[in-house]
Structure 1
């Protein structure tokens, strides 16, 4: 593993810990001012800019206060000298949701770039697989 990959892994793990703790300032610390995030809830065209990104977190923290989990299960990082990407699978759900559907995973994709010698998240995408049952074909 390269030094850049280690730095990015640490950054993402620190971010996930901050999310789990509901520490908004620590969630924001390594994000670019012009971040673009596509999230599970609307808006469908995503949020742009760190101020809009900041506004998405309080409702999530309220939901998470029900005892929800937010933990990285797997994380893969690919890094060049000034751009990188990572993808991860996380356990994310309330105890009941995870008991009822233990296979559910939050999918995370992150695009990073180096700014003034440090890695920052420029793009973040969260999603769940669509589990909608479509008709039985009859």
Structure 2
């Protein structure tokens, strides 16, 4: 693993730990001011900018406080000299949701760029696979 890949892994693991704790300042750390995020809940056209990103987390933290998990299961990183991407699978859900669909995982894709010598997340995409009813 390269130094850049290790720096990115640390950034993502610290972000996921902050999400798990409901630590908004920790969640924002390492994100670009012009972040674009496509998330599971609306708005479906995405969230643009760090202010919008900041505003989307409190409802998630409220839901998570009811007993949901947010844990990285796998994380793969590819890094160039100034851009990188990462993809991960996370256990994200309540015990009831996992009882109903034990294999369901949140899919996470991140696009990163190096700014002033440090990696920042410029693009974040969360999704769940569609399942038939």
Scaled by the length of structure 2, the TM-score of the pair is 0.98
Query: What's the CA shift string for 1:59-86, capped at 9, x where partnerless?
Result: 0000000110000000000000100000
Distance 2:42 2:67 in 1: 23
Match of 2:107 in 1: 107
Alignment partner of 1:130 is 2:94: no
How far 1:132 sits from its partner (Å)? Answer: 3.0
How many residues are matched?
Answer: 133
**Cα distance in 2, alignment partners of residues 59 and 32 from structure 1:** 21
Alignment of 1:40-55 (within 5 A): 40-55=40-55
Please give the alpha-carbon distance, in whole angstroms, between the structure 2 residues aligned to 1:47 and 1:122.
12
Q: Deviations over 1:98-128 (max 9, x none)?
A: 1221100000000000000000000000000
Partner of residue 96, structure 2: 96
Q: CA deviation at 1:96?
A: 1.1
The runs of 5 or more residues in structure 2 that have no matched partner are none
Q: Which whole-Å CA distance do the structure 1 matches of 2:39 and 2:130 have between them?
A: 14
Q: RMSD of aligned C-alpha atoms?
A: 0.6
Report the Cα offset of residue 95 of structure 1: 1.2
